[in-house]
Amino acid sequence: MADLICIGEALIDFVAMEPCTDVGASGGFLRAPGGAPANVAVAAARLGCSSAFLGKVGEDPFGRFLARTIAAAGVNIDGMVFAPRHRTGLAFVSLGPSGERDFCFFRNPSADMTFTPAELNLPLIDSCKAIHFGSITLIDPAPRRATLAAISHARSAGKLVSYDPNLRPPLWNSLADARKRIFQGMRLADLVKVSMEELNFLFNSDLAVNCADQTELQGRAQLLLKKFPGIKLLTVTFGPDGSAWFSRNGSSGRINGFSVEAVDTTGAGDGFIGAVITGLLAAGIDSGTLAGAADQLVTAIVTRANAVGAIATTTKGAIPAMPDNAAVDQFLKGQ
Ligand code: ADP
């Protein structure tokens, strides 16, 4: 039993311990559990929503470490599958002196790329109220089939479907392919979270819109809602500048970010969407009522999600940084 199912990849980020522009030049790496859907499951669990992670890791020390870490955070792992012959996906990341990132992925193929529809825990999906997915498992054929089968199973039972494309360009064969598959996900979702960069990418336009340009932002959000009539609530995040929401019913809101000393922004977006889903489920909102959710309710939920995202940047790593309700309440009281 879980109210929220997060389906997708769980992997290990090895973060370079020294600044370098070439990830191969780093002498040491710090192990950090990751994978956006796993982070979202943890964020929701910390905020009191019963969540489960569905995905495949290797039957190896790193896969077991991920399962232990996710379970210790209170997430149901009954739907996790362990691959006997494929390894847990690894991503080595370094940060250059001016903040530029260099990535090297070990997924040739990794266990998550071999996840198949036959390995889905359908009873767990039947038990949920909402399901969340991303686009990394839409890249390769087997996990794409598994993800789409899970989403279609959930949709046909009227579950709330949440989607955060989480664009990672180096993982795709081409940006055209990324756009096509990300659009495929958009068609299935009730609730969508994109970053400002992703919104610009989806429109493939020379003009990159800045979150300060309210008119252009509003225009692009409305175009996205028009292109995908199934989306009932669209959220767009702007890092330290906060976020905005756009409802199918024509309402929208803009919520400033909270000022914090950010040390690692990994997982901020995952904390944000985990908090939005948790807030909607706590308010009894489902796929049928999302478009009609009151403006004040959506504003309160997105404000709290901004707080969760901000708090998530103040500690290193994604999973260790996700706050519980007491920490969020205390943070908001101090504002
Ligand atoms: P993603 O991680 O998906 O790119 P963002 O970086 O936009 O998403 O972060 C999601 C939310 O987390 C933002 O809307 C904001 O509320 C909060 N947030 C992110 N970075 C910061 C920051 N440096 N300071 C304060 N809040 C932040």
* CATH code, 144: 3.40.1190.20
- Position 22 in a domain: no
Q: How much distance in Å is there from the Cα of 309 to the middle of ligand 1?
A: 5
168 lines ligand 1 (CB under 6 A): no
Query: Residue 94: which H helix or E strand, with range?
Result: strand 90-95
Taking each helix axis from N to C end, the angle separating 268-282 and 36-46, rounded to the nearest 10 degrees, works out to: 50
Residue 187 pLDDT > 90: yes
Q: To the nearest whole percent, how much of the chain has pLDDT over 90?
A: 87
- Position 170 in a domain: yes
Q: Are strands 80-83 and 90-95 parallel, antiparallel or unpaired?
A: unpaired
Q: To the nearest whole percent, how much of the chain has pLDDT over 70?
A: 100
Greater confidence, 100 or 314?
A: 314
- Cα(101)–Cα(202) distance, rounded to whole angstroms? 22
Residue range 171-182: average pLDDT?
96
- Position 198 in a domain: yes
Residue 42 pLDDT > 90: yes
pLDDT at 52: 98
- Position 297 in a domain: yes
- The per-residue pLDDT of the chain, averaged, comes to 95
Cα 184–chain centre separation: 16
Residue range 198-220: average pLDDT?
86
Cβ burial of 211 (10 Å; 0-12, 13-18, 19+) is buried
Pocket test for ligand 1, best of 306, 322, 331 (most atoms within 8 A of CB): 306
Residue 40: closest CA among 311, 262, 275, 264 = 275
pLDDT at 152: 98
Q: How much distance in Å is there from the Cα of 239 to the middle of ligand 1?
A: 3
What is the chain's alpha carbon radius of gyration, rounded to the nearest angstrom?
19
- Cα(34)–Cα(236) distance, rounded to whole angstroms? 22
Residue 3 pLDDT > 80: yes
Residue 100 pLDDT > 90: no
317 lines ligand 1 (CB under 6 A): no
Pocket test for ligand 1, best of 166, 198, 313, 316 (most atoms within 8 A of CB): 313
- pLDDT band of 221, cuts 50, 70, 90: very high
Question: 169: cis peptide before it, omega within 30°?
Answer: no
Q: If you ran DSSP here, which 8-state letter would residue 76 be given? A: B
pLDDT at 202: 92
Q: How much distance in Å is there from the Cα of 198 to the middle of ligand 1?
A: 14
- pLDDT band of 120, cuts 50, 70, 90: very high
Residue range 292-310: average pLDDT?
98
Residue range 41-45: average pLDDT?
98
- pLDDT band of 102, cuts 50, 70, 90: confident
pLDDT at 317: 85
Q: How much distance in Å is there from the Cα of 257 to the middle of ligand 1?
A: 8
Q: Are 50 and 2 in contact (CB under 8 A)?
A: yes
Q: Are 194 and 216 in contact (CB under 8 A)?
A: no
Nearest CA to ligand 1 atom 26: 310
The domain of 314 spans 4-10+37-83+108-333
Q: Alpha helices of the chain — where are they, by DSSP H?
A: 36-46, 61-72, 122-127, 141-156, 175-186, 196-203, 214-227, 268-282, 295-312, 325-333
- Total tally of structural domains belonging to the chain: 1
Q: How much distance in Å is there from the Cα of 55 to the middle of ligand 1?
A: 25
Residue 143 pLDDT > 90: yes
39 lines ligand 1 (CB under 6 A): no
- pLDDT band of 208, cuts 50, 70, 90: confident
- pLDDT band of 203, cuts 50, 70, 90: confident
Query: Residue 160: which H helix or E strand, with range?
Result: strand 160-164
Residue 211 pLDDT > 90: no
pLDDT at 50: 98
314 lines ligand 1 (CB under 6 A): no
pLDDT at 210: 83
Four-point Cα dihedral 145, 148, 153, 154, nearest 10: 150
Residue range 62-82: average pLDDT?
98
- Position 277 in a domain: yes
- Position 66 in a domain: yes
Q: Are 111 and 34 in contact (CB under 8 A)?
A: no
Distances in Å between the alpha carbon of 225 and those of 7, 280, 282, 315? 24, 19, 25, 34
Q: Are 100 and 76 in contact (CB under 8 A)?
A: no
Q: Are 77 and 29 in contact (CB under 8 A)?
A: no
**Lookup result for tokens 């600044």:** 19
Q: pTM of the entire structure?
A: 0.97
Residue 72 pLDDT > 80: yes
Q: Are 310 and 289 in contact (CB under 8 A)?
A: no
- pLDDT band of 98, cuts 50, 70, 90: confident
- Position 242 in a domain: yes
- pLDDT band of 97, cuts 50, 70, 90: confident
- Position 23 in a domain: no
**Phi, then psi, of 260 in degrees rounded to 5:** -140, 165
The conformational region for residue 284 under phi > 0 = left, psi -120 to 50 = alpha, else beta, is left
Q: How much distance in Å is there from the Cα of 164 to the middle of ligand 1?
A: 14
